[in-house]
Structure 1
Amino acid sequence: MPITADYIRIADEIVADIRTNKLKPGDKLPSIAQLAAMYEVSPSTVKQTYVRLEALRVIWRHQGKGIFVNDPKLWMREP
């Protein structure tokens, strides 16, 4: 059984929370330090998570304000 990298696992959990409406468009995500503490991973792992999600257009960053959930219509494919 292959082991999934932590940053992919965390990204998948965030996407799942968006798909189940636990997170909604415009919701602010935890800071890198907060998410690292929540998942007991290094801040660099969370940075990788956020880079991955930003590349997929799942999130967007606003300098000095935080990281936010993007509108799923911009990135989510229909099942």
Structure 2
Amino acid sequence: MPITADYIRIADEIVADVRARKLMPGDRLPSITQLATMHGVSPSTVKQVFVRLEALRVIWRHQGKGVFVNDPALWMREP
């Protein structure tokens, strides 16, 4: 079984939480430091997670306010 990079694994977990409606549009994600601590990774790994999720349009960032879940209708396709 191939090893998945931490940033991809964490990003996939966040996407799964949005799909399962554990995270809703407009919900604020924990800070970089909080997510790093929760997942046992470095802050730079969490920054990669945010870059990946932003590129996929799963999240949006508001400087000084935080990182928020985007409306799934903008990025999620039915399986």
Question: How high is the TM-score relative to the length of structure 1?
Answer: 0.99
Aligned-residue RMSD, C-alpha:
0.4
Provide the residue aligned with 2:32 in structure 1. Answer: 32
Q: SS of 1:52's equivalent?
A: helix
Q: Could you tell me which amino acid in structure 2 is paired with residue 16 of structure 1?
A: A
Show structure 2 runs of 5+ residues with no match.
none
Superposed structure 1 runs of 4+ greater than 4 Å apart: none
Q: Which amino acid aligns with 1:76?
A: M
The answer for unaligned runs of 5 or more in structure 1 is: none
Partner of 1:74: 74
TM-score (norm. length: structure 2)? 0.99
**Could you give the per-residue CA deviations for residues 34-63 of structure 1, whole angstroms, max 9, x where no partner exists?**
000000100000000000000000000001
2:31 paired with 1:21: no
Task: Tell me how far 1:78 sits from its aligned partner.
Answer: 1.2
